């Protein structure tokens, strides 16, 4: 394939793009790609991994999936979400890799096209969705695909796992981003509220309707409607919702004329809607209408490697920005299941930061639920939880508690603990505890 043809093909792409050989060397590059990175691209010598990651070798030698390796193996397009070192910092990119064939069907190279993800970050200093675990990247990949189309998105994840944040990200990266994003909280909506909230009403439609009111569907005109906890919509209202989605029309309460609806649909539920369908609690036809593109939001315990970064992020956003968690405290957080997910983590960070006496937040500063014990601590020697703690964790909590207030010498404490002074020092060093904090 001729070089100027390849260059013209790359120039015609409105996203950052390169053409690379099977051994990662950049053979053509467009302006958008050059502008994305600080590293200078020299056609014929620069490699994609050196420019985007500042890595000395391919990504799969550095712990990340390489889309080129996948495409070389399958000779089909592949995609992956990576963190790139761009001129704007560490940025999430959705990478599409496509084999390019000549007229004889021989693969002559690969086209790499980047889509920068603006709503997420691997840098705790930003005000975006934070994370860098594989589960988080897999979720970003799906969010990015969904936002490029008009497909109805269903977000399924436990409470506090970030469904509303993801719904906003889908909206903000879609072509509707300059139009409204309207949230409809479905929990607790009865039939009359449901209709008047969604469709609005005309003056005099019911007692108290002294003026006409626009419904949320009209407010959202051209934008995105997010139905939160869609599983809580009672069966009789599910029919009305289905009619709205199928006909794109509705009639305000007390009105005669039909109005046209124009919105993109995003729904969320922490319940398993498919099993509700099986039990007859959720209409199957509505399920398939709203679940055009399901996205699973990982629970925090499925993305433990993000906990340290999230803690840093939430500390930096509040009044305790000068504080940090000890390694042991982060380890203890990673062992905890977080049923309330990120919302619970935010509360845990705030409580622990308040409890910490100095800049380092210790295991003993963590709320009781993290250590699986009741309000009365291990050190109090009473009412220790039924839950079994790892021995080293119990030892650490105990030492932190007593060392905080102990006023004697290390020799005296070692004697009371029935260990040598050297053993005591070793343990204090291991858990990063200072005597007489």
Ligand X SMILES: Nc1ncnc2c1ncn2[C@@H]1O[C@H](COP(=O)(O)OP(=O)(O)OP(=O)(O)O)[C@@H](O)[C@H]1O
Burial class (CB in 10 A: 0-12, 13-18, 19+), 134: middle
Residue 20 or 130: the one with the smaller Cβ distance to ligand X is 130
Question: What is the DSSP annotation of 226-275?
Answer: EEETGGGS-HHHHHHHHHHHHHSEE--BT--S-EE---EEEEEESS-HHH
Is 283 a binding residue for ligand X by CB under 6 A? The answer is: no
Binding mask 335-374 for ligand X (x = CB under 6 A): -------xx--x----------------------------
Q: Is residue 161 near ligand X by the rule CB under 6 A?
A: yes
The closest of 300, 356, 370, 329 to 158, measured between CA atoms, is 300
Q: Which stretch binds ligand X (CB under 6 A): 126-134, 146-154, 196-204, 366-374?
A: 126-134
Q: Which of 157, 200, 298, 372 binds ligand X (CB under 6 A)?
A: 157
CB neighbourhood size of 242 (10 A):
16
If the CB atoms of residues 162 and 215 are measured against ligand X, the closer one turns out to be 162
Binding positions for ligand X, 57-96, rule CB under 6 A: none
Q: Which is nearer to ligand X, 169 or 433 (CB)?
A: 169
Q: Number of residues interacting with ligand X: please give it, by CB under 6 A.
A: 16
Residues near 266 by beta carbon (within 8 Å), at least 6 away in sequence? 152, 153, 154, 155, 167, 170, 171, 224, 225, 226, 227
Three-class SS state of 122: coil
Choose among 182, 1, 186: nearest CA to 103.
Answer: 1
DSSP annotation of 25 reads B
- Least spacing, CB of residue 174 vs ligand X, in Å: 18
Q: Which of 28, 117, 129, 170 binds ligand X (CB under 6 A)?
A: 129
Q: Which stretch binds ligand X (CB under 6 A): 6-14, 75-83, 155-163, 418-426?
A: 155-163
Could you say which of 123, 134, 164, 395 contacts ligand X (CB under 6 A)? 164
Shortest separation between residue 313's beta carbon and ligand X, angstroms? 6
Nearer to ligand X, 253 or 346 (CB): 346
> Considering the complex, what minimum distance in angstroms separates the CB of residue 90 from ligand X?
15
Decide if residue 135 touches ligand X (CB under 6 A): no
Q: Which of 93, 146, 142 is nearest to 121 (CA)?
A: 93
Q: From the CB of 133, what's the least distance to ligand X, in Å? A: 10
Rounded Cα–Cα distance for residues 332 and 307 (Å): 11
DSSP tag of 81: E
Cβ proximity to ligand X: between 130 and 433 the closer is 130
Comparison of 273 and 363: residue with beta carbon closer to ligand X: 273
Closer Cβ to ligand X, 163 or 171, answer by number:
163
Tokens of 50: 């050196």
Q: Whole-number minimum distance, CB 422 to ligand X, in Å?
A: 44
Residue 163 touching ligand X (CB under 6 A): yes
In the bound state with ligand X, the residue whose beta carbon lies nearer, of 163 and 324, is 163
End-to-end Cα, the chain, rounded Å: 71
Q: Which of 58, 131, 223, 231 binds ligand X (CB under 6 A)?
A: 131
In the complex with ligand X, the residue whose CB is nearer, 157 or 215, is 157
Cα–Cα distance, 428 to 424 (Å, whole number): 6
Query: Helix %, strand %, coil % for the chain, to 5?
Result: 40, 20, 40
Q: In the complex with ligand X, which residue's Cβ is closer, 21 or 351?
A: 351
Nearer to ligand X, 111 or 307 (CB): 307
403 exposed, middle or buried (CB, 10 Å; 0-12, 13-18, 19+)? buried
Among 16, 99, 109, 162, contact with ligand X (rule: CB under 6 A): 162
How many Å apart are CA 45 and CA 24, to the nearest integer? Answer: 9
Contact pattern from residue 239 through residue 278 relative to ligand X, giving x for each residue in contact according to CB under 6 A and a dash for the rest: -------------------------------x--------
- Angstrom CA distances, 406 to 6, 154, 401, 413, 434, stand at 73, 55, 9, 8, 11
Looking at 77-85, 153-161, 204-212, 234-242, which segment touches ligand X (CB under 6 A)? 153-161
Secondary structure class of 177 (helix, strand, coil): coil
Q: If DSSP states are collapsed to H, E and C, what string results for 342-399?
A: HHHHHHHHHHHHHHCCCCEECHHHCCHHHHCCCCCCHHHCCCCCCCCCCHHHHHHHHH
- How many helices (DSSP H) and strands (DSSP E) are in the chain? 18, 17
Residue number of the CB closest to ligand X reads: 162
Length of the chain: 437
Q: Of the listed pieces 10-18, 85-93, 125-133, 423-431, which binds ligand X according to CB under 6 A?
A: 125-133
Interface residue list for ligand X (CB under 6 A): 129-131, 157, 159-165, 228, 270, 342-343, 346
């Amino acid at each position: 394939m001729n070089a100027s043809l390849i260059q013209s093909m790359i120039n015609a792409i409105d996203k950052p793009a390169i053409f690379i050989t099977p051994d990662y060397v950049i053979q053509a590059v467009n302006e958008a790609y050059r502008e994305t990175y600080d590293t200078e691209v020299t056609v014929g010598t620069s490699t994609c991994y050196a420019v985007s990651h500042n890595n000395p070798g391919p990504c799969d030698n550095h712990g990340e999936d390489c889309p080129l390796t996948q495409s070389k193996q399958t000779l089909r397009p592949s995609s992956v979400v990576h963190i790139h070192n761009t001129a704007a910092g560490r940025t999430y990119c959705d990478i599409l890799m496509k084999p390019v064939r000549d007229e004889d069907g021989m693969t002559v190279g690969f086209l790499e096209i980047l889509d920068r993800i603006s709503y997420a970050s691997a840098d705790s200093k930003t005000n975006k969705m934070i994370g860098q675990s594989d589960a988080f990247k897999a979720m970003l990949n799906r969010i990015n695909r969904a936002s490029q189309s008009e497909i109805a998105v269903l977000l399924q994840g436990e409470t506090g796992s970030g469904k509303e944040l993801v719904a906003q990200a889908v909206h903000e990266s879609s072509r509707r981003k300059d139009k409204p994003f309207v949230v409809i909280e479905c929990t607790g909506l009865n039939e009359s509220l449901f209709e008047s909230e969604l469709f609005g009403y005309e003056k005099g439609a019911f007692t108290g309707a002294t003026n006409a009111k626009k419904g949320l569907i009209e407010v959202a005109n051209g934008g995105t409607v997010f139905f939160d906890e869609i599983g809580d919509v009672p069966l009789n209202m599910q029919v009305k919702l289905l009619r709205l989605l199928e006909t794109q029309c509705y009639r305000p309460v007390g009105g005669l004329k039909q109005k046209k609806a124009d919105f993109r649909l995003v729904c969320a539920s922490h319940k398993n809607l498919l099993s509700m369908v099986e039990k007859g609690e959720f209409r199957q036809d509505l399920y398939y209408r709203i679940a055009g593109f399901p996205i699973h939001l990982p629970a925090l315990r499925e993305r433990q490697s993000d906990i340290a970064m999230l803690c840093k992020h939430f500390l930096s956003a509040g009044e305790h920005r000068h504080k940090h968690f000890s390694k042991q405290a982060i380890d203890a957080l990673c062992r905890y299941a977080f049923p309330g997910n990120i919302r619970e983590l935010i509360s845990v960070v705030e409580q622990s930061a308040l409890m910490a006496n100095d800049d380092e937040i210790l295991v003993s500063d963590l709320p009781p639920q993290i250590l699986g014990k009741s309000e009365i601590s291990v050190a109090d020697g009473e009412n220790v939880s039924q839950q079994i703690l790892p021995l080293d964790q119990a030892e650490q909590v105990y030492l932190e508690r007593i060392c905080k207030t102990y006023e004697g010498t290390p020799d005296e404490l070692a004697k009371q603990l029935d260990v040598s002074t050297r053993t005591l020092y070793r343990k204090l060093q291991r858990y990063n505890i200072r005597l007489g904090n």
